[in-house]
Amino acid sequence: MGTFLFVLLLALLILLFLRQHWSRRHLPPGPLALPLVGTFGAYRFWIHKDYISKHVKRYGNISTLTVGHRLLILLSGLKTVKEGMTSFPEEFSNRPDDPLLAALGKERGIIFSSGHTWKQQRHFGITSLRRLGLGKKSIEHQIEDAAQTLVEAFRQKKGQPFDPSFPVLNAVSNIISALSFGHPFAPEDENFQKLIQALNFVFNFTGNIFHLMYRFFPHLMNYLPGPHQKALASRELILSFAKQEIEKHKEFHALHEPQDFIDYYLLQMEKSRNDPDSTYSEENLVQCIWDFFFAGTETTMATLMWALLLLTNYPDIQEKIKKEIEDVFGFSGSISYQDRKKLPYTNAVIHEMQRVKYVLLVGVPRQSTKDVKMRGYLIPKGSIIIPDLRSVLLDPEQWETPEEFNPNHFLDKDGMFIEREEFLPFGIGVRTCVGQQLARIEIFIFLTSLLRAFCFQLPEGVKELNEAPVIKVTIYPHPYKFCAIPTKV
């Protein structure tokens, strides 16, 4: 009887495999996918960046991976990514679920929502950021203040080796606090420190094996011990922090003179109270704030951590930037984001940092809303679309020395800055990063402020800071220490 059942089960698995193989004959090429399990290599996808490049070399710029029953369609190279993201704006506009990061469930906020909710929340997010002065001097003043606070934090180290990650996280998080809540927090504020620590834990948790298991088996993982439980508790602390700030705004509201994102959102809720199509709600407001903190803090912090490491490892490039800033502005007066046009070399270095040390493993995934034919292949409804932006930023057909830190990629023969179509760290298409302008201003002002104040050097006895990445969803450098030596004026 046992032998019969085994043979029957084996026959069923073979039939299932053959049926699956036949049903996928029109899909883009990819490795063998087993029933229930999927592609074994897909589970290495998130922890080995070299797996992706090897996969693309073997199967081409449009290929298939399978995780369980989920199809992952990987789009690589400039032409393929651009075609997929711009030729199918509606078809590839949805976002797949992430039960941990979509903190309030499906269809909330900006990052993890889809359809009407996403369109309305995204439009409001962009409009609000503009009203709050994005691209104008008002937001720059707040960023300049945060940059000076960061300068003081570095100065307190008195040239001794230190890890810059926590002061950088403090500074970047406070920009989001100022935009969301209308005010920054003192670095020593106890509640703010709890928020920073919670954010830090969620960032470090994202992309590890427990996160992936939680993503695919959330109901089971809720009952199991592990670091995901602390990540969930950290998530709840951040949400609670946002809810408390919303309650304060409701109590002392300034709806006729809105000062921050919460004010604008509460005013919009009031205006849309009788609109049956409105998605403006406190749940969406809380999720938007979570989105701002998660996306607006993590990637900017990772970019700045890579930037400080590269400047330390390449003292000749650091010196060129310092000289350009000194020649144009001297040692006093503020430098605005508009001034980047006067600093072509500095601007080129910042762009090259973001290119060569792109801070995401791939672009943020999409999900297809219907069956799509692309280059003769079928991309079924519900497939997860992964724009491989790293392949664009490191494409040997587009960049002279793709793996090297080379600011000349963004300079013409006369030393003037040039924009590059292949520079896509913020994505492409209808779901490009909402906060990309904010991030650009932050990175420019933080780095120019720090470079005016300090010379970054290796600690005594250290030959070079480790440039090998820590592979998660967000790509960070290994923890490091450096010396910030005050500039002699």
Residue numbers in the known binding site for heme are 433
Binding residues: 433
Residue 366 CA, chain-centre distance (Å), reads: 14
Q: Determine the Cα–Cα distance for residues 75 and 421; give it in Å rounded to an integer.
A: 17
Between the CA of residue 387 and those of 62, 163, 469, what are the distances in Å?
10, 33, 20
Beta-bridge partners for 76:
388
Kindly state the tokens that stand for 196: 């920073």
Under 8 Å between Cβ of 486 and 453: yes
Residue 263 CA, chain-centre distance (Å), reads: 26
Residue 219 identity (one-letter amino acid) = H
- Radius of gyration over alpha carbons of the chain, in Å? 24
Kindly state the tokens that stand for 358: 């792109």
Contacts of 19 (CB under 8 A, 6+ apart): none
Altogether, the residues listed in the chain come to a count of: 489
Residue 254 identity (one-letter amino acid) = A
Q: Determine the Cα–Cα distance for residues 250 and 266; give it in Å rounded to an integer.
A: 8
Contacts of 260 (CB under 8 A, 6+ apart): 132, 178, 179, 180, 181, 182, 183, 249
Under 8 Å between Cβ of 331 and 399: no
> Which single residue is written with the structure tokens 């490009």?
432
